[in-house]
Amino acid sequence: MTGSSNNSDQEIKNRIESEFNVSRETIHRLERYTELLKTWQSKINLIGPGTVEIIWHRHILDSLQLVPFLPSEANSIADLGSGAGFPGLVLSIATGLPVDLIESTGRKAAFLRTVARETDANVTVRNCRIEDVPTSDRWSVITARGCASLTNLLSYAEPLIERGGTCLFLKGGKWREELTESLKSWNISSMEENSLTDDAGTILKVTKFSRRHDHI
């Protein structure tokens, strides 16, 4: 089922438990996350105002749908442009994997640190621009949602991804145009999976990519 946000929060929580093998204790931690998000949302704009009443569908489930696509050997994740923590913070809470949340806005970084502390999430919040992350730091998985075009995401990810690593990008309705545009400057090996939360969106799993001029 894709796209529908009409299910109650409890129905979505039940679905998350069954489909993603999430424990009740993890659900409680995610509930604390959503409570903090609603509190902070009244002070700073963390998510679209129209999604406040559908947080579990639009943000929690949307993030968790990446779990089945995490490589079994994944041992670290960098989440680019984390914002309110989607998908990186949710993935850390659900899987226990260490996640670096890269967010340039100070107030959003403060929110992420608060949620991490309150939920005991295995995350490191990096309050910096993506371009300022040391290229000596590498991750096995890089995630992003809505922070940049695919072309720019690949430029950000290139110096940060481990050899053989995987990029998981949640993209909206214009993903085909973004992919077409990115192919002008990148060689890309990827697969697309339908989004569970957006009929027009996709999960873009990029397993190999290189700048086209490298192959001239």
Return the H-helix or E-strand segment holding 106: helix 106-119
Per-residue pLDDT of 172-212, as tens digits, reads 999 999 999 999 999 999 999 999 999 999 999 999 999 99
Q: Of 88, 134, 83, 135, nearest to 104 (Cα)?
A: 83
pLDDT of residue 5: 47
Indicate yes or no: pTM above 0.85: yes
Per-residue pLDDT of 103-128, as tens digits, reads 999 999 999 999 999 999 999 999 99
pLDDT of residue 3: 43
Domain coordinates in residue numbering, the chain: 9-215
Per-residue pLDDT of 2-30, as tens digits, reads 444 457 999 999 999 999 999 999 999 99
Cα angle 126-132-62, degrees, rounded to a multiple of 5: 50
pLDDT of residue 122: 98
Q: Which CATH superfamily is domain 9-215 in?
A: Vaccinia Virus protein VP39 (3.40.50.150)
47-55 mean pLDDT: 95
| 8 Å CB contact between 88 and 101 | yes
Q: How many helices (H) and strands (E) does the chain have?
A: 8, 7
pLDDT of residue 1: 36
Per-chain mean pLDDT for the chain: 94
| 8 Å CB contact between 87 and 143 | yes
